Chains A and B, each alone.
Chain A
Amino acid sequence: MTRWVVERVETALDRFQLGPVSLDLSPGSAVAVLGTSGAGKTTLLRTLAGFLRPRQGRILRDGVDISQWLPEERGLGYVPQGLGLFPQRTVVRNIRYPMEIRGLSDAGRRTAELMERFHLTGLADRYPSRLSGGEQQRVAIARALAAEPTLIVWDEPWQGLDVVARYELGQVLHELRETDRIPMVVVTHDPSLAFSVADTFLLLRNGQVQDQCDATSLLRAPSDAFAARFVGYENVFESDDLRGGAPGAFRAWLRQQAGPDGIAFPSPDPSRPPSNGPLFELIVRSARPGPTGVTIDGHCDELPVSLRRPPPVAPPLPAPGTRLRFSIPSETLLPLGPRRPPGVGT
């Protein structure tokens, strides 16, 4: 089992600067790299894979500094965006490729094993263009494993997959962590998928590490409005949103509760008895049913607010213009600001 450590790595790409980034990738660990487009996620992965040289810092594989090693020397399975399958090779030849170029004698047996493991045996002679998105993902991961990597680095694994294929891929990634114990770094735009796989989250913004923590910390204390929106809070207000605008009790109350960077809270339930906080009134703009209940969007003091009535979903849905009373349980309020040191407050 191999341990990878990234020590304060910085990479410069034209005018873009990434880092410093530090990671501890022990066997079985999984890091999700989150961030919007241009945050530096792919740059980080390409640095780990050896396609970009770090300007500062070290990448250690079992204590050996491999920062200057070529990509083919690193023993790392890099799956780029779009998967990088060889279009001119069939499924079986794609998977056999890493063993073929090494001249391994048992390439046939190993390929057959991987094909069986990833349910690809019936697709052996197909070309990648003839596969579904989910099948292509399975080929990509089987091919990466054929090279016996000590770290898997995957750029946007869920891209372009339907719901079923996403679920199946989640299972595959779980298995990789638990059975193969290969550490993983996955890049994604989708935090809910990241939560299903990773134990550590690295949130990048403009090349800088904005947040690096476990799932609970990220959900309970997002560092700013960007992080709060990213992890799925529906009601996020930056300090600037709360200043000015229409005066009103709701805006004034939020301003009181907010941290230096603003405030976030999950959608309150309008059907719940009033909490210990004050009551406000939402003017409904739209309502849509879903598996988690009815999401009701509207505004209060000109601030957009989202409420959620829990299941079962029963008609009638609130009509636009309807006024609904709601209160926000104080325990769900998240003042936004720099992360507090571990052990201080909750």
Chain B
Amino acid sequence: MGESVLELNPATASAPPVARRRWRAGPLWTALQVVLSASLLLLFLLPIVALFTYAPVSHIFGAWSNVQVRAALWLTFFASGIAVLAAVVFGIPLGYLLARRAFPGRGVVEAFVALPVVIPHLLVGLGLFLLFIPGTPIYRFSQSIGFPVYDTIWGVVLVMVFVSTPYTVLASMLSFRAVDGRVLEAARSLGAGSAVAFLTVTFPLALRGIVAGLLLSWARAVSEIGGLLVLAYAVYPAGPYTGPVTSTISIYIYDEFQGGNLAGAAAVSSLFLLMAFALFLLVRVGERSGWLPWRRGELAP
């Protein structure tokens, strides 16, 4: 019955096959996207699952009782915290400058900021090593002000700042650029001076991107290994660090792996991952609960 109706209806009978194919292309396209995305997500997920499943849970939490592990974690979090602070103090203003001020050579500075992202990090370590080689004025200066860099926490901080701050600079620059100038002009004509307009309008609107940049900077800092292998492989007590001779957590895990202690490496890695996840989770919760201001008004700078 249905077929005869189709045949009798010239409009339906002559329905162009192209239209039918297009109708079917939707689900196919969606399926392709799902498969491709799932493949990538699996690639992200599986190594993490492998880490967590290789070491028994007791080993993961047992790693915390190891003084060496705790020292490495402390050093890593402390040094990366200072690197993030440096990104806030130096990186955000530079991002603002690049976003909002026109000056000769701005393009060159922009390219220069991105340089540390593309340089192999072993070279970063080597460059810093040569810069602070004994006898150079910079070496003498760092010694005189009590910031020796070779195999000290300051060396770790220096490498981390070098490799991680560009992420904050670039994210801040893009976020400040994304702030609608008309909103700023409205604020100015409502009586806000340039500083007040920055604090009440520009900065809050750019904050989401800036925080994303800071998180990237932190992640980059804690995962650094190449530069540290050259400049601060082992960290001796100096400055704020007074514990036993240690290294950053990345180097500690690398040493464990090199020494054949695969279970130990996996356990410490898992412990560190849990801590890193906790930090990211905290930001997400803050974002969802409205404690962090950028979801207000559902902004997407």
Q: Within 8 Å CB of B205, what residues of A?
A: 87-88
Of listed B182, B184, B191, residue having the most chain A CB within 10 A:
B191
| B98 CB to nearest A CB, Å | 22
Pick from B183, B190, B193, B297: contact of A98, CB under 8 Å: B190
Do B297 and A82 have beta carbons less than 8 Å apart? no
Q: Contact size class for B?
A: 20 to 34
Tell whether B66 is near chain A: CB-to-CB under 8 Å.
no
Name the segment of A70-78, A169-177, A319-327 touching the other chain.
A70-78
Q: Within 8 Å CB of A51, what residues of B?
A: 185, 188
Interface residues of A in 52-102 (CB under 8 A from B): 70-72, 74, 76-90, 97-98, 101-102
Of listed B180, B200, B204, B297, residue having the most chain A CB within 10 A:
B297
Tell whether B293 is near chain A: CB-to-CB under 8 Å.
yes
Pick from A50, A84, A127: contact of B180, CB under 8 Å: A84
Q: Within 8 Å CB of A112, what residues of B?
A: none
Do B296 and A84 have beta carbons less than 8 Å apart? no
Tell whether A263 is near chain B: CB-to-CB under 8 Å.
no
Do B189 and A74 have beta carbons less than 8 Å apart? yes
A306 and B299 alpha carbons, distance in the complex (Å): 48
Interface of B is mostly: helix
Q: Within 8 Å CB of B299, what residues of A?
A: 87-88
Q: Within 8 Å CB of B188, what residues of A?
A: 50-51, 70-72
Q: Within 8 Å CB of B193, what residues of A?
A: 70, 72
Tell whether A143 is near chain B: CB-to-CB under 8 Å.
yes
- Contact of A77 with B189 at beta-carbon distance under 8 Å, contacts A86-B201, A101-B200, A128-B297 already known: yes
A129 and B300 alpha carbons, distance in the complex (Å): 11
Q: Within 8 Å CB of B196, what residues of A?
A: 101
Q: Within 8 Å CB of A81, what residues of B?
A: 182
Tell whether A21 is near chain B: CB-to-CB under 8 Å.
no
Do B296 and A72 have beta carbons less than 8 Å apart? no
Residue of B nearest to A153 (CB): B189
Do A83 and B293 have beta carbons less than 8 Å apart? no
A78 and B192 alpha carbons, distance in the complex (Å): 13
Do A143 and B190 have beta carbons less than 8 Å apart? yes
Tell whether A303 is near chain B: CB-to-CB under 8 Å.
no
6 contacts between A and B (CB under 8 A): A77-B189, A83-B182, A84-B180, A84-B183, A87-B205, A89-B297
